[in-house]
Amino acid sequence: MKKLLTLLVAAIMAVACCFGLVGCGGEDDTPVVALITLHGRSSTYDKNFIEAFETACANKGLNKKQYAIVSDIEEDASCYNAAKDLVDQGYKGIFADSFGHEAYMIQAATEFTDVQFYHATGTSALSVNKANFHNAFASIYEGRYLAGYAAGLKLLTMTDKAVDNNFQLGYVGAHPYAEVISGYTSWYLGVVAALNEYNAENSTAYTATMEVTYTGTWYGETQEKTAAETLIGNGAVLISQHADSMGAPTACENANVPNVAYNGTTGKNSLVAYSKINWVPYFEKMIDQVQGGAAVETDWTGTIATDSVQWALGAGAAAGTQAKVDAVQAELIAGTRKVFDVSTFTVKASAIQSVIDDPLSFTPMSAFTLDGETVGHITSLTVSGQEVIKTAGTIRYFDESVVRSAPYFQMIIEGITII
Amino acid sequence: MAEIKVAREPLFHIVKRPNIPVWKKLLYYAIAIVAALIISAVFCAISSDVGDFGDFFKYLFEGVIGTEMRIWLFFREGMLLLGVALALLPAFKMKFWNLGANGQVVISCLVSYAVMFYFGKEGGSSNATVIVIMIVASISASILWAVIPAIFKAFFNTNETLFTLMMNYIAEGLVLLMIKVWAPSGSGSLDPIPDFGLIDIGNVYLLTITVVAIISVFSYFYLNKSKHGYELSVVGESVNTAKYAGMNVKKIVIRTMVLSGAICGIIGLLLTGNINHSVHSTMHGNMGFTAIIATWLAQFNPLTTIGTCFLITFISRGMNFVKIKFHFYDTSIVNVVIGFTYFFIIACSFFISYKLIFKKKEKKAMPTDFMVDGSQAETVAEKPATKTKSNKKGVKNND
């Protein structure tokens, strides 16, 4: 036994010495920025932030000792504790990626006024109005629309799957929340736009309807997979999702159903297209600010122009899709096409009424008028006191992510059914 | 009838060890933990391009005791885990496998938040009123969650492991459901209610630490010095013995689970009413399961449980810091290291209780040896002079 002990201790010492000699570099290790994420890399949502953060830090010449990524932080006091700990370590800018982190980030921002706090998807920066607290999002509805357009082109190559010339789509959503609703509506409108443009030049007129199901969690592999399987079972011929795991893409791959992803590529053969928010530009602004550069806006919305909204095609895309979607993107940038063109969709009066009646909603919509009885096009709508139905040239459109960065389109339009 | 087998002697025999002194046991455990950490350190150093072997230990300790806040958090988290472990102890001693601590904690969180929401935020009651209602309601809810499986166990002899597990899912489901009611924006996360809740004493950590310290003292006396504590250990040893001794087993089972639930309720109350002022479905932080391992490693000894709870918290908090510093963006690495440690501790406890006796080389030439069916440990226990182990083989009547 004694011999064994001696041997063990000797081995430990030897190994410790070897490692002790390594890693005596002279790198600058002043902490600069840190990222707090809800989950780790296994979540596509958080992975998108983590990878962008690493890229931005590398672009700005920060080494790994100058930035930190704190993963798996729940939406509770542990977010405040993580932020406080990072402040103690000397980080000057702290970013949190999950909606529920906001209250705790504001708590930290109130306490540590010399540190900048940034929060994605949040809604409160404008109302709390602190110099060191910022919200950010992107006009991802444009990316969704373009991915939807690619999906529409894919559907036109699988017309045998249409029932009475109608394609049934499926969508796996996380929560019945504006961010999700805005996401699937813009996606659906993209699909419909592609079909309508085909119909205008052809004798057969194709339509699309969509079933949406909510999993009740932002990340739930099993629930998302089951939800996708249910939608496929209901007759969906193409699936998209706003949920953070690989659940739905896996179900699609297994059932040989094309899939449109969010937050990044799934790497699967069934992938038609994906859209994602590219956080690199924002992270670079943030690093600039804490290193003495220009202050970041209190509420910032990235766009296609700032390279914050990205999309790409997958292995399952139809031939010739790239050029067509590029053309549509050019129109969006030029402003000659709008995602939420109010002439392209109709809403039930009750769908808007339910949004207004909801007194606890933090984005009450009011003062709408419909140019129809129960179903019609929106002609006027105010969000937080601001008119959001605007005119650009001849187009009347719902102006998303302008009153604040986080989406606020939360009406269920005709053609979409919640199951 | 005796059955005689002619067989080759196995490579080794497992033999029970005579008791060894406590200091030696502790030394063995310490070696096991250090060995686990060394392996983890090598594993982490290889996987990371930023940290090396020495950094692992530096960050492991820095993450736990590097700043004043980390020390407080270490104690608070350790105490919370200890609280849940103390809730499980009486049930486990009674051999009632309460796997429902997660649910019992989270239902208490849920009710605490409900009271803060309806009485405080919406109802405009004073914080004092909210506190009183919250304490009563949350602990009652938790007791209810624990006592339902206990009643079924006592009266219908249902399987408590499955029942308590099932109650976890119901509790977590209820939380998700209520979040939908309380957060109609549909985002799935609640706003904290910082204006209501238990009052801090000294700082934000001390209330939890004090309350669990009181529970610990209470548990020690309850389990070791009280009639209740004695009764539940008798039920754990043998239900029939308890019955013959005139104990009301049903009552003891239900009473113990009331206690178990009440302690979980207090933990939930602290989590929502004092620490987070909010609730989500995983606010239990999986402590209900971690505490099972903590109590098992401690062999259901309340004092040893303190050690195991703080050890697990130490590694968990330390590894979370290593994870950040080594740029691992996944919590799995923390679990891997905790897993290594469990493995080594369990292996160590095996070698403390038993030893392996390898067959001697010269014995290879004796194929006519008889093999014993049944327990070999007993045979040797009678002959502690293990040097004469070649004598232990023989013929044994196994009827």
Residue B62's CATH number: 1.10.3470
Instruction: Specify if B282 maps to a domain.
Output: yes
Instruction: Specify if B64 maps to a domain.
Output: yes
The parent domain of residue B365 ranges over 5-21+354-391
Do A131 and A247 belong to one domain? no
The parent domain of residue A49 ranges over 33-139+280-302
> Which residues of chain B does A176 touch, with a Cβ-Cβ cutoff of 8 Å?
186
How far is Cα A243 from Cα A239, in angstroms, rounded to an integer? 12
pLDDT of residue A363: 42
> Which residues of chain A does B276 touch, with a Cβ-Cβ cutoff of 8 Å?
76-77
The answer on pLDDT for A236 being more than 90 is: yes
Regarding predicted confidence, which is higher, B78 or A402?
Answer: B78
Regarding predicted confidence, which is higher, A368 or B19?
Answer: B19
- By CB atoms closer than 10 A (0-12, 13-18, 19+), residue A358 is middle
Q: Read off φ and ψ for residue B368, nearest 5 degrees.
A: -85, 5
* Among the listed residues B163, B194, B172, B177, the one whose alpha carbon sits nearest the alpha carbon of residue B268: B172
Q: What is the mean pLDDT of residues A124-135?
A: 90
Do A122 and A195 belong to one domain? no
For residue A73, give how far its alpha carbon lies from the nearest alpha carbon of chain B (Å).
10
Instruction: Specify if A255 maps to a domain.
Output: yes
Q: What is the mean pLDDT of residues B22-31?
A: 88
How far is Cα A74 from Cα A53, in angstroms, rounded to an integer? 19
Q: What is the mean pLDDT of residues B54-58?
A: 93
DSSP summary character for residue B364: G
* Among the listed residues A279, A287, A276, the one whose alpha carbon sits nearest the alpha carbon of residue A34: A287
Is B275 in contact with A77 (Cβ distance < 8 A)?
yes
DSSP summary character for residue A396: E
Do B16 and B156 belong to one domain? no
How far is Cα A329 from Cα A38, in angstroms, rounded to an integer? 32
Regarding predicted confidence, which is higher, A62 or B189?
Answer: A62
Q: What is the CA radius of gyration of chain B?
A: 25
The answer on pLDDT for A371 being more than 80 is: no
For residue A41, give how far its alpha carbon lies from the nearest alpha carbon of chain B (Å).
6
Do A180 and A313 belong to one domain? yes
Cβ of B246: how many Cβ atoms within 10 Å? 6
* Chain B interface with A: residues with Cβ < 8 Å: 31, 34-35, 38, 42, 45, 49-50, 52-55, 67, 69-70, 73, 176, 180, 184-192, 194, 275-278, 280, 282-283, 285, 323-325, 327, 329-332
pLDDT of residue A358: 43
Strand pairing report for A299-302 and A133-138: parallel
For residue A339, give how far its alpha carbon lies from the nearest alpha carbon of chain B (Å).
23
Q: What is the mean pLDDT of residues A139-163?
A: 93
Contacts by B360-368, CB closer than 8 A, 24 or more apart: B360/B390, B363/B9, B363/B390, B366/B9, B367/B8, B368/B6
pLDDT of residue A225: 94
* Among the listed residues B105, B96, B99, the one whose alpha carbon sits nearest the alpha carbon of residue B150: B96
pLDDT per position as a tens digit, B167-208: 999 999 999 899 888 876 667 788 899 889 998 888 899 999
Q: What is the mean pLDDT of residues A241-261?
A: 89
Do A68 and A107 belong to one domain? yes
pLDDT of residue B135: 96
Do A251 and A159 belong to one domain? yes
How far is Cα A292 from Cα B53, in angstroms, rounded to an integer? 36
For residue A19, give how far its alpha carbon lies from the nearest alpha carbon of chain B (Å).
5
pLDDT of residue A348: 78
Residue A346: which residues within 8 A CB-CB, separation 6 or more? A372, A375, A376, A377, A413, A414
Chosen for mutation from B185, B198, B327 (greatest number of chain A CBs closer than 10 Å) is B185
Do A297 and A252 belong to one domain? no
pLDDT of residue A13: 52
Residue A253: give its domain's CATH number: 3.40.50.2300
Instruction: Specify if B36 maps to a domain.
Output: no
Q: Which of A5, A18, A99 sits opposite B187 (nearest CB)?
A: A99
How far is Cα A146 from Cα B372, in angstroms, rounded to an integer? 76
DSSP summary character for residue A337: S
Asked if residue A214 lies in contact with residue A162, where contact means CB atoms within 8 angstroms, the answer is no
How far is Cα B239 from Cα B234, in angstroms, rounded to an integer? 7
Closest-CA residue of B relative to A64 is B50
Do B222 and B86 belong to one domain? yes
How far is Cα A167 from Cα A184, in angstroms, rounded to an integer? 16
**Is A363 an interface residue toward B (CB < 8 Å)?**
yes
pLDDT band for B395, please (50, 70, 90 cuts).
Answer: very low
Token code pair at residue A3: 């011999």
How far is Cα B185 from Cα A174, in angstroms, rounded to an integer? 13
Q: What is the mean pLDDT of residues A277-282?
A: 95
Look up the pTM and report it.
0.84
pLDDT of residue A8: 54
Is B188 in contact with A22 (Cβ distance < 8 A)?
no
Is A76 in contact with B278 (Cβ distance < 8 A)?
yes
Instruction: Specify if B314 maps to a domain.
Output: yes
Worst-scoring range by mean pLDDT, A134-143, B12-21, B118-127, B171-180?
Answer: B12-21
Number of separate domains in chain A: 3
Regarding predicted confidence, which is higher, A352 or A122?
Answer: A122
pLDDT of residue A6: 56
The answer on pLDDT for A19 being more than 60 is: no
Q: Which of left, alpha, beta for A40 (phi over 0: left; psi -120 to 50: alpha)? A: beta
Is A40 in contact with B189 (Cβ distance < 8 A)?
no
Closest-CA residue of A relative to B179 is A216
Q: Which residues, numbered 54 to 83 in chain A, qualify as contacts with chain B under a Cβ-Cβ cut-off of 8 Å?
A: 64-65, 68-72, 74-77, 81
Instruction: Specify if A7 maps to a domain.
Output: no
pLDDT band for B19, please (50, 70, 90 cuts).
Answer: confident
Alpha helices (runs of H) in A27-135, residue ranges in sequence order: 44-59, 77-89, 102-111, 125-128
How far is Cα A15 from Cα A6, in angstroms, rounded to an integer? 14
Is B69 in contact with A88 (Cβ distance < 8 A)?
yes
pLDDT of residue A412: 87
Do A243 and A156 belong to one domain? yes
Q: Which of left, alpha, beta for B230 (phi over 0: left; psi -120 to 50: alpha)? A: alpha
**What mean pLDDT, rounded, does chain B reach?**
86
Instruction: Specify if B40 maps to a domain.
Output: no
**What mean pLDDT, rounded, does chain A reach?**
86
Is B31 in contact with A5 (Cβ distance < 8 A)?
yes
Number of separate domains in chain B: 2
> Which residues of chain B does A408 touch, with a Cβ-Cβ cutoff of 8 Å?
none
DSSP summary character for residue B121: I
Do A324 and A295 belong to one domain? no
- By CB atoms closer than 10 A (0-12, 13-18, 19+), residue B118 is middle
The answer on pLDDT for B363 being more than 60 is: no
Q: Which residue matches tokens 């339009």? A: A413
Percent of chain B clearing pLDDT 90 (strictly above): 62
pLDDT of residue A172: 94
Cα(first)–Cα(last) distance of chain A, in Å? 67
Worst-scoring range by mean pLDDT, A11-15, A163-167, B349-353?
Answer: A11-15
b (16+ CB within 10 A) / e for A268-301:
bebbbbbbbbbbbbbbbbbbebbeeeeebebbbb
The answer on pLDDT for A69 being more than 90 is: yes
* Among the listed residues A138, A139, A116, A126, the one whose alpha carbon sits nearest the alpha carbon of residue A294: A116
Do B364 and B311 belong to one domain? no
Do A163 and A261 belong to one domain? yes
Q: Read off φ and ψ for residue A256, nearest 5 degrees.
A: 60, 45
Domain ends where: B327, B346, B379? B327
* Among the listed residues A314, A340, A308, the one whose alpha carbon sits nearest the alpha carbon of residue A252: A314
b (16+ CB within 10 A) / e for A144-157:
bbbbbbbbbbbbbe
Token code pair at residue A340: 């939420």
The answer on pLDDT for B59 being more than 70 is: yes
Instruction: Specify if B338 maps to a domain.
Output: no
Is A8 in contact with B35 (Cβ distance < 8 A)?
yes
Residue A226: which residues within 8 A CB-CB, separation 6 or more? A247, A251
* Among the listed residues B102, B127, B65, B85, the one whose alpha carbon sits nearest the alpha carbon of residue B274: B127
Residue type, A77: A
Chosen for mutation from B189, B275, B313, B323 (greatest number of chain A CBs closer than 10 Å) is B189
Instruction: Specify if A4 maps to a domain.
Output: no
How far is Cα B51 from Cα B326, in angstroms, rounded to an integer? 5
Asked if residue A132 lies in contact with residue A117, where contact means CB atoms within 8 angstroms, the answer is yes
Instruction: Specify if B150 maps to a domain.
Output: yes
Do B358 and B311 belong to one domain? no
How far is Cα A419 from Cα B272, in angstroms, rounded to an integer? 33
pLDDT of residue B202: 85
> Which residues of chain A does B105 touch, with a Cβ-Cβ cutoff of 8 Å?
none
Instruction: Specify if A204 maps to a domain.
Output: yes
* Among the listed residues A315, A281, A272, the one whose alpha carbon sits nearest the alpha carbon of residue A300: A281
Do B190 and B226 belong to one domain? yes
Q: Which residue matches tokens 């013995």? A: B241
Q: Read off φ and ψ for residue A259, nearest 5 degrees.
A: -135, 145
How far is Cα A231 from Cα A349, in angstroms, rounded to an integer? 27
Do A185 and A323 belong to one domain? yes
Instruction: Specify if A298 maps to a domain.
Output: yes
pLDDT of residue B1: 47
Do B152 and B97 belong to one domain? yes
Q: What is the mean pLDDT of residues A368-389?
A: 69
pLDDT band for A380, please (50, 70, 90 cuts).
Answer: confident
pLDDT of residue B372: 43
Is B53 in contact with A16 (Cβ distance < 8 A)?
yes
- By CB atoms closer than 10 A (0-12, 13-18, 19+), residue A256 is exposed
Strand residues in A238-340 grouped as ranges (E): 238-242, 259-262, 271-277, 299-302, 309-313
Do A252 and A372 belong to one domain? no
The answer on pLDDT for B11 being more than 70 is: yes
Asked if residue B302 lies in contact with residue B219, where contact means CB atoms within 8 angstroms, the answer is yes
Is A69 in contact with B186 (Cβ distance < 8 A)?
no
> Which residues of chain A does B190 touch, with a Cβ-Cβ cutoff of 8 Å?
100
Chosen for mutation from A6, A85, A179 (greatest number of chain B CBs closer than 10 Å) is A85
Do A240 and A317 belong to one domain? yes
